[in-house]
A and B are shown apart, each in its own frame.
Chain A
């Protein structure tokens, strides 16, 4: 469970690492709002270009960002395909006859087998998957001999459908890139402290941002521990015959309880011990504390904030006209 890339800080150097977390949070927020204000695919593509230039300036490996996209890749592809299939407005740009014959079926099966076998040995499984999808299309279009299984059908793409799907996907892409840049270049501790400082004014309405930040940072610290523990509990119960993949619903319920109860009880014991450890080191909730991390605002931060404000302003202007 340690290899979740999304939301993962990777140590490095470069412009974004040197920015104050407050600047990064605020700037990313501004630019995200700006992206949501954009209305045409052209504007969005320019924004994507800007995002990529940002990555290059910050010397952030694009491959790492792409890896961050992995968990939502399926979502992106589905959004894309659904938008294309369902939106039938505007000029029709593709109208391709397709047929499913006995031979097409055979070829499809062959393609499937080749894909399954290759995917065991090839590292870039996603590229292989794309190749597989492309080959399905090619087979459906060009293999037109043999006994037809269903009537030939046509695959249509409309201009508006293409635009809309590209629009949605590019927007998602930008948003995710932005947030990945934020989490990739900001230590969780800095992130929480940035949030804490940004929310400090809320103290007036009774929101204790310091305790909030401490809670977040302790949660962050214990996430790997808890995952590790959950895994061990699962193995311990599996050793007692709890089969989490099969079994009737009633059995399943019991098995889930057999996982949750130990997890809660251990968490409860831990929180008590942790509270003792913190108290013995003179932690008093709500009291003034100094901090080892100090946020320093430099000219870079002024520059970055200004740029993000300008981008937001630009997007607002575009929206208004």
Chain B
């Protein structure tokens, strides 16, 4: 078993808002192999807090979670090596600027593995492998991470986590700020890593088109609670996403509009433009 949340709640207190419940009574299981999961929810719904629990960066206020056999509760336990959990579950933050600090890409990627008592030579090999895994060639090793483009920085920051060879990879809005083409390239990369290495990947995103096209499991957070865990298509059929400040995939929106305006009977649940086109052509023939 990879990660299991058991009635997990997390409160934090701030001067402005007083006591604030970020997540409430979360029950959730994520297996350590082959899963590809989207985590969605409006801003402030608690999805980032949920993600930070997954590698024990923060501890639940109440409830407990099990991460690769370690039981995490509100109290720090001396028996648990929290650092080793972070090696098993890698968390990539939204902005690469938060973690890049070395003068070369190679050194920066090596920082993670080197924190786990391995030799420099081993770390170098891992860095190179991780860099190739995110689709950058060896010429990047000697470059300064701060002179890279936004998309490249993002890849290097992901490589920095991949180099620790985690079983589960959690990414906080990795596609934000990229243009549509860049988004797709990165998503294909994640899918590729997932299929090649069997690592479970959890991705926080706002983009419902991506959710529909790439994932077969989606978690929806709303007002601190996990309100959905299942297939994306089922989500779009069952829930009124607008209430939860979420959107529908564009294909569904466009086809629904056609149905309304032209009294058609299109099946609106089409993942891609190509599928939608086939559906329109089918309906037009009738």
Contacts and interface: CB of A to CB of B under 8 A. Distances in A.
B286 interface: no
Interface in B106-126: 111-113, 115-116
Interface stretch (B13-21, B177-185, B229-237, B245-253): B13-21
A236 B112 CA distance: 11
B101 A262 contact: yes
Contacts of B23: none
B264 interface: no
A239 B115 contact: no
A274 to B, nearest CB: 16
A2 B14 contact: yes
| Interface size classification for chain B | 20 to 34
B55 interface: yes
B14 A241 contact: no
Given A2-B14, A3-B14, A235-B57, A240 B98 contact: no
A265 B115 contact: no
Main secondary structure of the interface of B (DSSP, over half): mixed
A238 B15 contact: no
Given A239-B55, A239-B90, A239-B93, A233 B160 contact: no
Contact of B15 (A8, A229, A243, A266): A8
B99 A240 contact: yes
A47 interface: no
B86 interface: yes
Interface in B48-106: 52, 55, 57, 82-83, 86-87, 90-93, 97-101
Given A239-B55, A243-B83, A262 B100 contact: yes
Given A236-B93, A265-B146, A241 B83 contact: yes
Contacts of B93: 232, 235-236, 239
Contacts of A242: 111, 115
- Identify which of A236, A239, A261 gathers the most chain B CB atoms within 10 Å of its CB: A239
A241 B163 CA distance: 11
9 contacts: A8-B15, A229-B98, A233-B99, A238-B57, A241-B87, A241-B112, A243-B115, A262-B100, A262-B101
Interface of B: 13-16, 52, 55, 57, 82-83, 86-87, 90-93, 97-101, 111-113, 115-116, 146, 160-161, 164
Given A8-B15, A233-B98, 7 more contacts: A3-B13, A240-B111, A240-B115, A240-B161, A242-B115, A243-B82, A258-B111
